Amino acid sequence: MGWYDLFAPLYDASVERLYAPYRALAAERLALVPGLRVLDAGCGTGQSFDVLCPAVGPTGLVLGVDRSGGMLARARRRAAGKGFENVRLLRSAVEALDREALAEHLEDGLGVDRVLDFLCAPAVDDWRAGFGRLWSLLEPGGTMVIVTAHADRLGLQGRMVNLTAQADIRRRVWEALEEVAEAFELERREASWEIGGDMCLARGRKPG
Ligand SMILES: C[S@@+](CC[C@H](N)C(=O)[O-])C[C@H]1O[C@@H](n2cnc3c(N)ncnc32)[C@H](O)[C@@H]1O
């Protein structure tokens, strides 16, 4: 059993109030319209589904991928409870994703139109490899949004966040996107001290 399997029952109650405001901002940057296919990387308990599912509608699809079965079980319950019928879930490490892994849910063998990485990359063991896999699944012309907490230097709270999220918020995870994307944008917002750093929202388009 992994850390996030243990954390899953407490996750929403302990941290969601801190990150909720950034979900709508992320959805805005993804420029969602009905019919799009969105990959929610490290979807956790599915908190982003609320802003993703209604926006892509019944002709679209939200594919939540997470390594933790415990987090995914909550995501499944959340989707069912909210009546989100356009959610598909896949248990996998992002570093292991490829079109074959997605084939069960994306039967046409194509990739996705949008990728959302909301607080996932700081927790991924090999985050650059994970980014590479996610980028390879994005169709040309598609958009990726990365939302992350970031601190160049860790204070006490930053260390606590790293410990409880099994993450490293010193990573400049948007830089991988900046290297390959066109129309790259980064916004840094001062956030609650509880987050341990600033909140950064990055967006970039895959050339195509
Ligand atoms: C801080 S939580 C964020 C969850 C969710 N995105 C949210 O916004 O609430 C990090 C999530 O990344 C998942 N995760 C960590 N490493 C992963 C990996 N290598 N591949 C896929 N998911 C991973 C964890 O299981 C956890 O659900």
The reported pTM is 0.98
| pLDDT at residue 190 tops 90 | yes
**Which pLDDT value is given to residue 197?**
95
> If you write DSSP's letter for every residue of 102-150 in order, what string do you get?
HTTT-TTS--EEEEEEES-GGG-TTHHHHHHHHHHHEEEEEEEEEEEEE
Element (H, E) at 98: none
Element (H, E) at 51: helix 49-56
What is the CB-side half-sphere exposure of residue 39 using CA atoms within 13 A?
36
Q: Residues enclosing ligand 1, CB less than 6 A?
A: 4, 42-44, 47-48, 66-68, 71, 93-95, 118-120, 123-125, 130, 165
- Quick count: other Cβ atoms within 10 Å of Cβ 126? 12
Grade residue 1 by pLDDT with cuts at 50, 70 and 90.
Answer: confident
**Which pLDDT value is given to residue 189?**
95
Tokens of 92: 């996998």
Render pLDDT for 134-162 as a digit per residue (tens, 0 to 9).
999 999 999 999 999 999 999 999 999 99
Render pLDDT for 94-135 as a digit per residue (tens, 0 to 9).
999 999 999 999 989 899 999 999 999 999 999 999 999 999
Atom of ligand 1 nearest to the CA of 3: 25
- Quick count: other Cβ atoms within 10 Å of Cβ 179? 11
Spacing, Cα 123 to ligand 1 middle (Å): 6
Residue type at position 152? D
Render pLDDT for 13-66 as a digit per residue (tens, 0 to 9).
999 999 999 999 999 999 999 999 999 999 999 999 999 999 999 999 999 999
Residue recorded with tokens 């260390």 = 159
* For residues 193-207, average pLDDT: 96
* For residues 165-179, average pLDDT: 97
